[in-house]
Structures are given as C-alpha cells and as structure tokens.
Amino acid sequence: MNRTVLLVGVIIAAILLGVLFLGLGKNPNAIRSPLIGKAAPAFALREVGTGRIIDVTQLKGKPVVLNFWATWCGPCWEEHPILVANARMLQPNVQFLGVVFQDEESKILSFLNQRGSSYPTVVDDKGKTAIAYGVGGVPETYFIDANGVIAEKFSGPMNADVLQEHLRKVLR
Amino acid sequence: MLPWIFLSIAIMLGGWWAYEVLGWGGYWAWDPVENASLLPWLTATAALHSIMVVERRGILKGWTITLIQATFLLVILGTFMTRSGVFNSVHSFTQSEIGPTILAFLAAALLFVIALLAFRIDKLETEGRIEGAASREAMFLVNNLFFVLLTFTVLIGTVFPLVVEAFNGKQMSVGRPYFDSMVVPIGAALLFVLGIGPALPWGRATGEQVRKALLPPIATAVAFAIVGWAVHARGWTLLTIAFGGYAAHVTLGQMFFPMFQRMKKGESAGTAFVDGQLRRGRRRFASYIVHASVIVVIIAIAVSSSMRQTTELHFVKGQTQQASGFDVTFVGAEERTEPHRHSTIARFNVARDGKQVAVLEPRMNQYQSMREPIGSPDVYTTAGGDFYIALSNIDPAAQTTSITVFAAPLVVWIWISVILMGVGALFGLIPSRRTAMREAREPLPEAAAPETA
Amino acid sequence: MTLAVLLLLLQLKVPDAAQFVGQPQGMPIAGAQLTQRTNEVSELLRCPVCQGMAVADSPAEMAVNMKAQVRELLARGYTEEQILKYFELSYGQFVLLRPKFEGATSMVWLLPVFALLIGAAVLFFKLRKLEKAPSSAAAASTPVESDDEYLSRVRDLVTGGKS
C-alpha cells in the first residue's frame, strides 16, 4: 500500500467533492449585487406620458422601490399587478418607480393604459441607468431606504411575499 | 484509442457547429461544458503517450494507470458539469434533479480509484530505467507533464468560481481571457516537445547524435517564422508558427525515414512506400500523421484566433461596402415562414477585385418557442481563410441591416486536420500482421514479468 | 409656478462613470482604434444575461448596451482599468472574465504555476532516479544506436537479415 498516493488522492477527492457539493444547491445565474449597502446611483429621467423629469435624489426621505422592466418581457407582465396594488396600498409611505429598459414609449403607454398604473414610470437612456445599477435582465427590483442607500435587490418577477419581506428592511 | 478518436472528432464537431450555426464567429468559448469534454481528452492523450513508454521501457506503469483512471473520472465529472446545473454555461440542461446522483457516483468512483491505486500501485512498479535526459522517453515524460498541467489549469479555471464562492461567498468569473493567457504558453510548450521528442533517439544519445537530430529542423523553424512575420503574425502566434515549423520538419522526416532507408538500399519508391510505411511501419506512420495534423490544427487555431478581423457594418438595400479586402453588397432581405419558425434572410454579394466570389445568406430565425430571435451566419470558405457574415439586426420593411463581418485565416484547416487526425489514428489501429503474429507467439511482456514489489 | 421652476431646474441625468471612477485617466480615442479597443475591452466583460458569454460576442440587448457604454467611455478617454472598475462596482467581480490578481482570486493564476514547479521538480527527481536505477535485462538489451525497435528490424531486413 502506497501512503503517498492514498494521502494525495484523498486530499484531491475531498476538495473536489466538497466544492461540487457546496455548489449543488446554488443557482449559478443568481448574481448578488455589490451595490447593497451603497448609495443608489443618481439619475433623473423623463416620465412616460407626462414628459416630467423625475430625479431619484429628490425622492430621499422615504423608501423607494425601483423596478426595472420592459413591455416585451413576460415575467414583467406577471408582476405588474402586484406592484400596482402594493404601490397603491403603501401610498404615501413608499414611493414606487418603474424604469423601462430598451422599449418604445408608445408600447409602454398602451401597456400602462391597459393594465393600469399607480406610480410613475421613466424611460432609461441606452441602458445606462440599468448598467449603473448592475441590472442583468429585466425584471429586477431594488429597495432603496429613506437615506438613499440600496438595501436589497431582487431578480425575477416580484411576488407579494418577497415584496413584504424586503419592504420591512427599508421601512425600519 | 477508438474512444479517443471519437472524442477528438466530437469536440471538433461541437466547435464546427458553434462556428457555423451560432454566429459569434468563434468555435471555442472555454465554457464549462466545453472544458468538460476537453479534460478527458487531455488525460487520454497523455495516457496514449505514456503507454508507449510502458511498452518499451517497463516504467511508468502506475502513472499510466493513474492517467487512464483520471480520464474515466473526468468523464463522470463532465457529466456532472453538464447536467447538475451548478455551472453557468450555455449548454447546461438545468433543473433536472440528477446532480446529487451523479455526484454520489463520482464520489464512489473517486474513492474506488484512490483505493485501487493506493493498494495496487506498488505491484506495478518499475523494472526499467532511463538512460539520459536527452532521450525520447524523457521527452515522453515532459509531454506528460505539460498535458497534466494543461488538464489541471483547465480544471482549476472551470471549478475555481465554485471554490471562491464556497469560501468567501463572492461570485466571480473565469473566462476566455484567463484560459487564453494560460493555455497558449502550455500549448506552445507542447508543440515544442512534439518537435523535439521524436527527433531524439530512444535510450542514451551522445552529444553528437543530439546535435545532429536537433539542429537541422531549426532551419525550417526559421523559414516558417519568416513567412509568419511576413503575414504580420507576432508574439505567441509567431512563436507557435516557428515551433510548428520545427515540429513539421521532424515529423515529416521521421514519417518517411523507413521509406528513405529502403530507397537507399535500392528499392523502388513505390515498394518502399507500400511496404515500409503502410504495411510494416503502420503504427509509426499513423502516429506521425496524427502529429502532423496536430501541428496544422495548432497553427490554424493560433493564426485564426489571433489574426481575426472584425468589422461592423450598417447597410441599406443596394449599398456596397468594403470589409477585409472584400466588397460586400446588400442585395436585399426577404421573409420566409416555415411551420416551426419565421426567418428573415439577407442576401449579400461578396466580390473580390471586382469579381463576384460568393453569395452569402445569413438569416435571423424566430422560433415559435423562443422570445429572442437567433441569428444564423453564412460563411464563404477558402483554403486561405473564411469570410463570415452574421446578422445583428435586420429590418425587412425598411430593407436595412446591421452585420458583423469576421475574416479569419486558415479556419477550414482546423476541421480538415482533426478529421485527418481521426483517419490517421484509425489507420494505425489496423493491426499489422507481424505484431499480431508476434503477440500470438510470445506472451506479453507484462504477463511474463514476475510481479515484483 | 413653483412646479415650473422645479421643472426648469431639473435636467435629464443618467448615472455617469465620473461619479464612480473619477475623471478619465487616458487619452480620448476615435475611429478604427476606438472600434478595436471597444472589442478588446468588451471581450473582458461578461454579459450578465447570457450564460458565460462575453459582451463582445453577445447579441443580447443588455450586452449591446454595455458595449455601447464601453465605446463611449473609451472615446472619452477612460482607461481599460477604469472601465472594468466601473462595471465591477455595479455588477461585482462576476462581470470580469479575466479574474483579478488579488486576494483569493490570485490563486487561480498561481496554482497552475505552482503545479508546473512541483511537476518539474517531480519529473527532475524521477528522471535522476530512473537514470540511476539498475539496468534491467530489458533496458540493457536495447542497442544504444537503435532509434526504434521497428527501424532496427528494417535495418536487419535491408542488410540481408531474413524476416
């Protein structure tokens, strides 16, 4: 029996298997944001329909739920009613804000007219705001606290439970 | 050997598919699943070489067995990488619950192999020796070192993001820039050994022999390097071309050595070729065909990836623009509906020096089951290089389109040479009559040797 | 009235790299050089939506936007390091296809180098050991000048030995 071979083999096997095992439960596509705990990147964008400019820094003082979405994105349709209902319910304590990404204004307007809205939606400029926030794909939702610090990020279609849970962090 | 041929061809087909169908102009992205197929190929290739040392010298038996076992384990690991959904890959067929099962199987196989090696390896060891560092068997060892190093590097690069995440929770990526900068030097070193190794004699060589074997090919290396310099190859590509020239000289020299020996003794070239190369020296001849193909593959990969030109163009109907020495005219776009997809096809006339050489029809396919359309490129292939058009955007109503044009030299040689590699290896597998007879007459050396600890 | 004043004061503003990585530290570039550098830098960035592809290679909208951003920053004179830093700040190290040489991630660069050194050392000692090993019957019987078992057979053949 060769002890060196045994020892080296067991070490390699342990490392490899350990790493693979730890990797098992994880979703490699879920990217955690490095922006959590940092100041939300400032932007001022034009609101769909009204043409009014909304500056995110002016919203300081109350928590903001920032939702990146687009009309061509299926999961965004799914989460839309949940966001609209919660925004209506939480008024005026929490400000909801939609940022549309890579879309046409006419499509957004007809989408909002059809499906209703209870909070303003602004249009991004060539995805620059999305890039600064580290958006991978829509929909993604950021929870910004009253001091303008990003407290949480959620990728994928929002559901009521997750929304409540994350809101608790920014409402404290 | 046969599995090795299939794996070689399969990897090549994968690359060819990516190149012809996916439209990003490349054939290898160092994706985890691609790496999963490469890893066992590397260890298998190393084992094929070290087994020759076993045959001839009776050494490295334990090592060769280890390589063969590693190949087996890496195949399982590859299955895990592809099917578990742990790796972020284009090819991951995710969300099946098979990951833990494969992992358990991998663990069991790993433990079994370790136990087997630990308990039995001493029974295999050495009854031979090596005469000197400047010998062919020593070069086989160097070859093995680099193959294993390459395997290790690719494996580390592939699993490292998992390691980091396991330890400090940070997510990171290891991508093409890493693999390129690590693998290119090792690949060049392997090409160098491929040149040096076969030039050296088995056993002990005198200084005079070594000089006679190693110096003449330098002339070919220099000639290749000059050609390379003339076509603006620089850096690693130039070095690879020079090493390739050296290796080509040695390989071709060795390939036809028996034939020339016979011709010197007055045999006709025809008989000498048929008898010396095809009948008696088949395995040897075949192995050098594989080597020669490998040289071409490596040079073609180096040149096509480092000297690729990319141009992005925007066209309106009827417009002509220049790209990499070709005149490209956008003839128009048409739409076609098939049961499972809706395609928009753009037609381009490609001309060189005023003469039309090709009509390329890259298309954009909208499959019913998918949200985003998938582009499908079209390629004009010549021996010198490929001219490749991929659509990035097309508007059939306005008859405008945006395209990306790649001009990559020598790409076709990669496919040709890998096929040649497979053919050469298959040819070597046909047992020569003589070996078969000898094996029948005398027992195998391994079986004859008493098991000494 | 107040609303009108407020509207006048407000201007369209998107997050800018200057807020995150400061002023450009390089020279502005343009033309063919800009296109080439854009491709080179986007090769180093991972497209966040598309499974391990580089921004340079991906046709996805997000990748196209990121590439446009790279182009703009290069044109303004930002250096490669600054641009990579900018993307890293919002996406994390995940977005860098070439791992940084720092902390734990430097191991991905160093381990293969260690492996080479260890392998070379093992090979060196193994060769020395094998050279010193007592020559067995099999090894000693190989004639020194014979290049190849097969070749010696060829020589036998052509010098009149019977096959």
Contact call for B173 and C46, based on CB within 8 A: yes
Q: Are B407 and B385 in contact (CB under 8 A)?
A: yes
pLDDT band per the 50, 70, 90 thresholds, residue B370: low
Give tens-digit pLDDT for A124-134. 888 889 999 99
Contact call for A44 and C10, based on CB within 8 A: yes
Share of chain B above pLDDT 70, in %: 87
User: Of B80 and C141, which is predicted with more confidence?
Assistant: B80
Return residues 387-426 of B near C (CB < 8 Å).
392
**Using the 8-state DSSP alphabet, how is residue A53 labeled?**
E
Nearest to C15 among A29, A31, A43 (CB): A43
> What pLDDT shows up at residue A30?
66
- Burial (CB count within 10 angstroms: exposed 0-12, middle 13-18, buried 19+), residue B397: exposed
Partners of chain C (3+ Cβ pairs below 8 A)? A, B
> What pLDDT shows up at residue B127?
63
Task: Name chain A contacts of C91, Cβ cutoff 8 Å.
Answer: 31, 33-34, 134, 136
Of A138-147, B92-101, B168-177, the one with minimum mean pLDDT is B92-101
Task: Name chain A contacts of C48, Cβ cutoff 8 Å.
Answer: 31, 134-137
Distance CA C63, CA C87 (A): 12
Partners of chain A (3+ Cβ pairs below 8 A)? B, C
Helices of type H across B58-85? 61-83
Contact call for C19 and A124, based on CB within 8 A: no
Q: How many CB atoms lie within 10 A of CB A124?
A: 24
ipTM of the assembly? 0.84
Over residues B301-322, the mean pLDDT reads 89
Chain A nearest C-alpha distance from B228 (Å): 42
Chain C nearest C-alpha distance from A55 (Å): 7
Distance CA B309, CA A73 (A): 35
Name the residue in chain C with its Cα closest to that of A58.
C10
> What pLDDT shows up at residue C140?
41
Of B178-187, B195-204, B313-322, the one with minimum mean pLDDT is B195-204
Chain C nearest C-alpha distance from A90 (Å): 25
Query: Residue B58, SS3?
Result: coil
Task: Name chain B contacts of A1, Cβ cutoff 8 Å.
Answer: 118-119, 122
Is omega for the bond preceding A139 within 30 degrees of 0, making it cis?
yes
> What pLDDT shows up at residue C161?
40
- Asked whether residue B336 carries a pLDDT value surpassing 90, the answer given is no
Contact call for A43 and C13, based on CB within 8 A: yes
Distance CA B335, CA B394 (A): 11
**Which residues of chain A are modeled with pLDDT < 50?**
none
> What pLDDT shows up at residue B450?
38
- Asked whether residue B164 carries a pLDDT value surpassing 80, the answer given is yes
- Asked whether residue C74 carries a pLDDT value surpassing 90, the answer given is yes
A140 touches C at CB < 8 Å: no
Contact call for C158 and B262, based on CB within 8 A: yes
Distances (CA, A) of B66 to A18, A55, B50, B121, C117: 22, 64, 11, 9, 20
> What pLDDT shows up at residue B261?
82
Q: How many CB atoms lie within 10 A of CB A106?
A: 10
Q: Are A17 and B110 in contact (CB under 8 A)?
A: yes
Distance CA B126, CA B51 (A): 13
User: Of B7 and C69, which is predicted with more confidence?
Assistant: C69
Chain B nearest C-alpha distance from A149 (Å): 21
Closest-CA residue to B328 (of B315, B310, B309) = B315
Contact call for B86 and A28, based on CB within 8 A: yes
Give tens-digit pLDDT for C97-135. 999 988 888 999 999 999 999 999 999 988 888 777 655
Return residues 197-226 of B near C (CB < 8 Å).
201-204
Name the residue in chain B with its Cα closest to that of A2.
B118
Q: Are C67 and C55 in contact (CB under 8 A)?
A: yes
Nearest to A35 among C7, C11, C90 (CB): C90
> What pLDDT shows up at residue B339?
79
Over residues B376-398, the mean pLDDT reads 88
Q: How far is CA B230 from the centre of its chain?
A: 26
> What pLDDT shows up at residue C16?
83
- Asked whether residue B322 carries a pLDDT value surpassing 60, the answer given is yes
